[in-house]
Structures are given as structure tokens and as C-alpha cells.
Structure 1
Amino acid sequence: MSAMSYDLRGLKCPLPVIKTRKKMSSLPSGATIRVETTDPLAGIDIPHFCNEDGHELIETERTESGHRFLIRKR
């Protein structure tokens, strides 16, 4: 599975969720996206966004500077 990378490092809440939602709206169903963030709240906000919008959160990983998420669009 080849995931599109989306670098949102340096952005503060609520921008990572807003930009992820907008990017995902342009993707076909079943597409995967790997989101990189440095915002500490993204660890809560991105999983909540996936749950609310029905996307599959495949993987969450802590990185040296923040979080990395692998999401599949519903």
C-alpha cells in the first residue's frame, strides 16, 4: 500500500485537522495518507477526526518531534 505523505509539521491546532480533512476530501475512497505533525494536540485531534468522519486510523506513531498517522479514507 502506497500512502501519500502530507507534512503538517509546524502547524498548531486546529490547522492539522482542518488541512487533513480538506486534503482527504479530494482523495478517492480507500486512499491512504500519512500525516506528519508536531502539534502535541494532534495525538488527540487526528484520531477524533478519523472517528467522527468514519476514516480508518491504521497506525499512530510518536516521532521525535510529534506524531505520524496513517489514515485510510472511507
Structure 2
Amino acid sequence: MPFATIKTFKGALTNEQKQELHRRFADLMVEIEGKGNEEFRKFVILAIEEEEPINLGIGGIRATEDLMKRITGN
């Protein structure tokens, strides 16, 4: 049973983008680990963890609101 976690900044992904990640990850794991067997899909788990930007840094710089807007385009 594959289990993966994707960590991202809170607010970086829309609900639609998260759904697309879940779908594509499941598709990939069915193809690779499940060898194309669609029954394998029900065993694929993906967790998306969202971190507050204040808790993270990029290149040694705390992720400010301005930096997040530049990265995410939001």
C-alpha cells in the first residue's frame, strides 16, 4: 500500500488543485506499483500537509506574506 505526503504552504493550492494531485498520484501508483490493475487504486493514500508560511523558510529567509504571493501568484 503506497502512502505519500506532500508538504506545501497553506493557501498555495486550491481545492481543485489538491483533487488533481490526488487523482494524478493515484493514476501514477496504479500504473507503476499496481501494474495497471485498477483495484490497486483503493489502496493508494496521499496526504497533503499545509504549513503556515511563518514556520518555513526558503533559501534561509522566512517565508513572508509577500514572498508567498510571489511564489503562488495569489
Q: Shorter-chain TM-score category?
A: 0.3 to 0.5
TM-score normalised by length of structure 1: 0.36
TM-score normalised by length of structure 2: 0.36
Between Structure 1 and Structure 2, which shows a larger proportion of strand residues? Answer: 1
Between Structure 1 and Structure 2, which shows a larger proportion of helix residues? Answer: 2
